[in-house]
Amino acid sequence: MTPRPGYADLTPQQVLDALDAVGLRGDGRILQLNSYENRVYQLFLEDGSAVVAKFYRPGRWSDAQILEEHAFALELAAAEVPVVPPLLLAGAEAGVTLAGTPPTLALRGAHRWSVSARCAGREPELDDPETLRRIGRFIGRLHAVGRRRPFEHRHRLDARTDGRRALALLLEGGFVPADQRPAWQASCEQALAAVEAAFDAAQPLATLRLHGDCHPGNVLWRDGAPNVVDLDDAMQGPAVQDLWMLVSGDRSTIARQLDLLLAGYEEFSEFDDRERALIEPLRTLRMVRHAAWLAERWIDPSFPINFPHFGSSAYWSQQTTQLREQLEAMG
């Protein structure tokens, strides 16, 4: 997706001015944080505190989708689920709101942005059984809130639509080299067909409001407990979507890790055991969608710098190999 004019030119002074417009006066110290999708900055304020400001990628989400994410985060925080919600903003610039929604999304020129408290932490140690149980409890609490009502505006996970859209984007955009295209396309089509079959077999499938991108980097371990700092990919989908990225290895290892997660999870939420069969299909779907995400963002100058191997024959050969491995894993 092409960034709109001015996105790449967002300057530190513009960021400081944006915060000043809602009463958050910076002391001049600003640090750009690692984020490919958005522009995220840590800023120190005159009162000695620090906040994180996120400037959303233009055109990715609508105002309604962002505000629905914010409302979910605030609902989780009110239920004492350890998340980092957006701050309520004051001032004329905090003018992007929906009826009944707190003022958490600010608009300044072409940029939409939000602010949250800084939350430091480390990735969890997933080889520790008790850590997995605690993360399971945390996700179970999150899902207990997520089941209260559905999202109306956020993305709804649809294996068939999401996978076929990614495949079409990669092929029609010419991102797969000619020497790799036949093998990759055949493997990808077979793998997506297996993904679709697995989801069809799991129907009817209950869905709920999810974190959506619950990998270890998004689950910060702080004060002996897990915390979530990023709901940017919040979506409607099956519960297992927030569990499968926390397990890996051979089938017996994955089963053992999932059992530990569910031992904590089911203290707060029910889990449909049929969703176990969706772990490898979801892993496959993420693989294809990740390649499409890189292709869609390739015009952003930061992507060729950070993903220099994307588009090479070696990259697509490796993708073909991994898709074939996923076909076996789904078999």
Report the catalytic residues. Answer: 213, 230
Give dist(CA 298, CA 1) in Å, integer: 8
Give dist(CA 258, CA 266) in Å, integer: 12
**232 annotated to a ligand binding site:** no
**34 annotated to a ligand binding site:** no
Amino acid making up residue 327: L
Q: Which of 299, 307, 303 is nearest to 2 (CA)?
A: 299
Task: Report the DSSP pairing between strands 106-108 and 111-117.
Answer: antiparallel
CB 107 within 8 A of CB 93: yes
Taking the CA atoms of 243, 244, 249 and 254 in sequence, report the sign of the dihedral they define.
positive
246 exposed, middle or buried (CB, 10 Å; 0-12, 13-18, 19+)?
buried
What radius of gyration, in Å, describes the C-alpha atoms of the chain?
Answer: 21
Known binding-site positions for Mg(2+): 218, 230
Which residue numbers belong to the known binding site?
218, 230
